[in-house]
């Protein structure tokens, strides 16, 4: 009987919470909704990135008392990396806090697509760092979406530049063969057109080999790699597909330092399960690994020493995913700062103001140094035309124990990518009857 009363009481409590979407919020708090995923196949990415992001916001609260005195608050919502759950989380989080959710960052390309129309209607900016819809880089058609730092197409051109440098010049690429092993999904297919365009431009041949989800069986694919005898292999994997690919490469004796991964293939979680097979493997990244950056140290001093950190496994602090979360935190906080500088310091900003802040976000080398993130992430300058803002990546190599930075920031081939982005965005605008904004009139 007692149990029943208890159950009833908790049910009443929950339903009252469900109905009153306006949660008691202090006036001077900036709410950030976090559609996180900590269970399922991609939990390693989700827990690392959201952990790092939360830790950075906690650092701002601890060290500076918030952004100009406005405390940051957040709430998580478990999406399980599932599109339908992601939409539910979006709807649940959007009107919480004093001024609603400031920014939505789902860390899932599928969820990005699912809420693409909704963010424009609800006036909540969406930031997709290193994933999502590539052609959203054209801010005229997608005012509310910010695929920041670098998109898949830019990253792919940087990869070819890197290969070219390794071969001793872009002209040496002629006659070479590159195999693109990709996750057979919307995410995996996205770079095929840009690779084809580059193959035409530089005269190398490219062979696309799909791996079906989840990718824990790749014998036939790597058999084909052996037949094709490529000079380089681009690995566009996700989750369990990556270590499997590295092991398969080791099996057929393909040199691992000729395998180049995307950033979703370049974390400790991708290489450690492959063991020795991963040694020498190279991956692109818009953030680097390592805990010896001032910003990570500051988190350890101000957050973890006070026992307020988010990570349970503290050895993951400084890992690729964790640091990527810190990058998410930096961009979110700096955008709030930029918006506050325009709309009033120490004020809570709403979604529209946040969008302005993101569109005028500039994090230059000097600012990166002040933040303690020099070399940690590329410098960034977002504009109405260009919602990507950077396009630079670094290449890191796995030495068997950790990721070692191999190169400085490598720029993307903007001349090649930008027209493709504009063409694709224009097609979307036509399909959806969107009139692109005139950027010369934007303040």
Partner 1 sequence: MLYREAGQFKATYAADQQIFPIRQDRIGIQLLLALAFVAVPLFASEYWLKAIMVPFLVFSLAALGLNILTGYAGQLSLGSAAFMAVGAFASYNFMLRVDGMPLLVAFALGGLAAALVGIVFGLPSLRIKGFYLAVATLAAQFFIVWLLTKVSWFSNDSSSGVITAQAMVILGYEFASPQAKYLLVLGLVATMALMAKNMVRSSVGRAWMAVRDMDVAAEVIGIRIMHTKLLAFAVSSFYCGVAGALYAFAYLGTVEPEGFNLDLSFKILFMIIIGGVGSISGAFLGSAFIVLLPIFLDVLVQDVFAGLLSPTIASNMQLMVFGGLIIFFLIVEPHGLARLWQIAKEKLRLWPFPH
Residue (77 or 249) nearer to partner 1, CB: 77
Instruction: For residue 58, give the 3-state DSSP assignment.
Output: helix
Least distance in Å: CB of 231 to partner 1? 26
Q: Which of 408, 415, 431, 438 binds partner 1 (CB under 8 A)?
A: 431
One symbol per residue from 298 to 337: x for binding partner 1 (CB under 8 A), - otherwise; what is it? ------------x-x-------------------------
Least distance in Å: CB of 132 to partner 1? 9
Q: CA-CA distances (angstroms) from residue 192 to 156, 197, 211, 220?
A: 10, 9, 14, 20
Least distance in Å: CB of 208 to partner 1? 12
Q: CA-CA distances (angstroms) from residue 176 to 7, 173, 205, 295, 322?
A: 67, 5, 6, 41, 36
Task: Give the ranges where 286-413 is alpha helix by DSSP (H).
Answer: 294-299, 320-343, 351-359, 365-371
Q: Which of 6, 7, 8, 10 binds partner 1 (CB under 8 A)?
A: 10
Query: Distance between CA 221 and CA 185 in Å, rounded?
Result: 16
Instruction: Locate 84 and state its tokens.
Output: 């339908």
Residue (191 or 338) nearer to partner 1, CB: 191
Instruction: For residue 119, give the 3-state DSSP assignment.
Output: helix
Strands 282-285 and 259-261: parallel
Least distance in Å: CB of 109 to partner 1? 8
Least distance in Å: CB of 321 to partner 1? 14
Instruction: For residue 43, give the 3-state DSSP assignment.
Output: helix
Residue (87 or 385) nearer to partner 1, CB: 87
Query: 222, 230 in Cβ contact below 8 A?
Result: no
Q: Which of 13, 252, 362, 365 binds partner 1 (CB under 8 A)?
A: 13
Closest CA to 198 of 161, 225, 231: 161
The answer to whether residue 24 forms part of the interface with partner 1 (CB under 8 A) is no
Q: Which of 1, 18, 24, 27 binds partner 1 (CB under 8 A)?
A: 18
Q: Which of 7, 8, 39, 252 binds partner 1 (CB under 8 A)?
A: 39
Residues from 179 through 218 that contact partner 1 (CB under 8 A): 184-187, 189-190, 192-193, 212-213
Binding segment for partner 1 among 14-22, 259-267, 343-351, 399-407 (CB under 8 A)?
Answer: 14-22
Query: Distance between CA 221 and CA 74 in Å, rounded?
Result: 43
Query: Distance between CA 268 and CA 127 in Å, rounded?
Result: 24
Binding segment for partner 1 among 37-45, 241-249, 327-335, 398-406 (CB under 8 A)?
Answer: 37-45
Residues from 76 through 135 that contact partner 1 (CB under 8 A): 76-78, 80, 82-85, 87-88, 90-92, 94-95, 109-110, 113-118, 133-135
Size of the site for partner 1 (CB under 8 A): 57
Instruction: Locate 62 and state its tokens.
Output: 């601890």
Please write down the long-range contacts of 26-29, taking CB distance under 8 Å and 24 or more positions apart. Answer: 26/71, 26/98, 27/98, 27/348, 28/66, 28/69, 28/70, 28/71, 28/98, 28/346, 28/348, 29/70, 29/71, 29/72, 29/73, 29/97, 29/98, 29/348
Neighbours of 182 (CB within 10 A): 25
Binding segment for partner 1 among 7-15, 217-225, 359-367, 400-408 (CB under 8 A)?
Answer: 7-15
Q: Which of 290, 356, 424, 425 binds partner 1 (CB under 8 A)?
A: 424
Q: CA-CA distances (angstroms) from residue 336 to 61, 194, 377, 406?
A: 13, 34, 18, 33
Least distance in Å: CB of 101 to partner 1? 12
Chain residues that interact with partner 1, rule: CB under 8 A: 10, 13-14, 17-19, 21, 23, 36-39, 47, 50, 75-78, 80, 82-85, 87-88, 90-92, 94-95, 109-110, 113-118, 133-135, 184-187, 189-190, 192-193, 212-213, 310, 312, 424, 428, 431-432
């Amino acid at each position: 009987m007692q149990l029943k009363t208890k159950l009833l009481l908790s049910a009443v409590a929950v339903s009252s919470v469900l109905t009153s979407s306006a949660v008691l919020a202090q006036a001077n708090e900036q709410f950030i909704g976090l559609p996180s995923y900590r269970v399922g196949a991609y939990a390693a990415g989700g827990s690392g990135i959201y952990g790092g992001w939360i830790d950075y916001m906690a650092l701002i609260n601890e060290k500076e008392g918030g952004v100009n005195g406005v405390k940051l608050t957040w709430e998580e919502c478990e999406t399980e990396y599932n599109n339908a759950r992601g939409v539910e989380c979006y709807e649940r989080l959007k009107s919480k806090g004093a001024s609603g959710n400031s920014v939505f960052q789902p860390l899932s390309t599928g969820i990005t697509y699912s809420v693409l129309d909704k963010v424009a209607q609800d006036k909540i900016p969406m930031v997709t760092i290193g994933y999502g819809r590539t052609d959203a880089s054209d801010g005229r058609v997608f005012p509310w979406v910010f695929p920041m730092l670098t998109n898949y197409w830019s990253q792919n051109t940087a990869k070819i530049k890197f290969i070219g440098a390794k071969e001793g010049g872009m002209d040496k690429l002629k006659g070479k063969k590159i195999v693109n092993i990709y996750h057979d999904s919307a995410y995996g297919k996205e770079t095929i057109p840009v690779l084809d365009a580059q193959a035409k431009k530089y005269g190398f041949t490219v062979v696309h080999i799909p791996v079906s989800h989840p990718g824990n069986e790749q014998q036939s694919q790597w058999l084909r790699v052996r037949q094709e005898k490529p000079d380089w292999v681009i690995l566009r994997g996700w989750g369990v597909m990556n270590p499997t690919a590295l092991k398969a490469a080791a099996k057929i004796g393909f040199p691992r330092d000729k395998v180049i991964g995307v950033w979703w293939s370049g974390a400790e979680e991708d290489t450690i399960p492959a063991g020795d097979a991963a040694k020498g493997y190279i991956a692109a990244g818009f953030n680097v690994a390592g805990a010896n950056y001032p910003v990570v140290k500051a988190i350890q001093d101000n957050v973890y020493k006070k026992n307020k950190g988010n990570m349970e496994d503290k050895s993951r602090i400084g890992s690729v995913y964790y640091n990527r979360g810190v990058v998410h935190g930096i961009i979110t906080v700096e955008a709030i700062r930029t918006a506050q500088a325009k709309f009033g310091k120490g004020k809570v900003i709403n979604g529209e103001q946040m969008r302005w802040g993101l569109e005028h976000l500039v994090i230059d080398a000097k600012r990166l140094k002040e933040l303690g993130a020099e070399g940690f992430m590329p410098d960034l300058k977002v504009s109405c035309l260009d919602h990507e803002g950077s396009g630079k990546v670094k290449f890191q190599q796995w030495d068997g124990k950790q990721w070692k930075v191999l190169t400085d920031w490598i720029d993307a081939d903007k001349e090649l990518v930008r027209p493709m982005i504009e063409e694709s965005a224009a097609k979307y605008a036509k399909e959806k009857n969107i009139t692109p904004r005139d950027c010369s009139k934007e303040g």
